[in-house]
Chains A and B, each alone.
Chain A
Amino acid sequence: MISGRCAACKYLRRRCPSDCIFSLYFPPNDPQRFACVHRIYGASNVGKMLQQLPPPLRAQAADTLYFEARCRIEDPVYGCVGIISQLHEQVQSAESELAKAQAEIAFLNCNPQEAPAPIEANSNFNNLLPEQYLCPPSAQNSWF
């Protein structure tokens, strides 16, 4: 029945069988979702990946495939690896700041008479993960 086709079968212009592997995860009301994964992985590869998973895990796999495909379309060079790179840098930066703060605590506890200038209570790590991670980064030289 043509009106009941999933987004994948509509995109592929084929009949949507009752056991279509895509139908549960690519509903007809979101054609962009399948278009993204098809563009990066191809329908055959997506179908194979889903088939190889137990049914309870397929929805999550479809979601992550869509996320990665979207990242790759937005950043054709680095894809979601660009996000991982920036997160790594933030972890390193946060660890460094934490180490400094802990060293200062140790110093203050050992030297109670020499209090340094007050430190701002606000963390400078607010908004560590701004929305621009979904946009192509300007340069990713740290790993290459």
Chain B
Amino acid sequence: MGGNSPCASCKLLRRRCAKDCIFSPYFPSDDPHKFAIVHKVFGASNVSKMLQELPVHQRADAVSSLVYEANARVRDPVYGCVGAISYLQNQVSQLQMQLAVAQAEILCIQMQQEPAMPTTQMDPDDKSYFHHDSLPQYLNFASSSNVIHDSLKRESIFGQDMVS
């Protein structure tokens, strides 16, 4: 985009927008906030290096993820995206427990309904076959729930406006 309108990056950096500007396809001039937030967290130089190290067809996705991370970090300067990861891990863990309880209940009901089957004393409150202890925890960060509920929407994370 080396025409009349410099891209958002070159506008912010106050420099001439070259025809082969690495930022211009991903930071259009009509969305100055997008580059501003990425520049604030990562720095223009680092973003440029990261993009240059990627094949062209992957750069748009990389920019989207960088924007997401930058927004998360601005919203939550302590935990950033890690808060979201921690929250989702907890959600998965809880759902797994609920599923195990439901499956145990199904088994109980089935055993009650088929008295001919060899019965073992099953205590519906017995949680011994819950295997959630095998869930790897690669994070030990406390969750930051004040950011998570606003930022995590299923339909489109990247379409979500992270900064209110």
Contact = CB atoms under 8 A, between A and B. Distances in A.
B68 interface: yes
B77 to A, nearest CB: 6
8 contacts: A42-B43, A49-B41, A52-B77, A64-B81, A81-B81, A126-B131, A144-B60, A144-B158
Interface residues of A, number: 65
Chain B, interface size category, equals: 35 or more
Contact of A68 (B64, B81, B134, B135): B81
Interface of A: 39-42, 44-45, 49, 52-53, 57, 60-61, 63-65, 67-68, 72, 76-85, 87-88, 90-92, 94-95, 97-98, 101-102, 104-105, 108-109, 112-113, 115-116, 118-123, 125-131, 133-134, 140, 143-144
Contacts of A144: 60-61, 64, 158
Contacts of B69: 68, 72, 79-81
A42 to B, nearest CB: 5
| Binding site secondary structure of chain A | helix
A81 B99 CA distance: 26
B42 A42 contact: yes
Interface string B70-82: 0001000111111
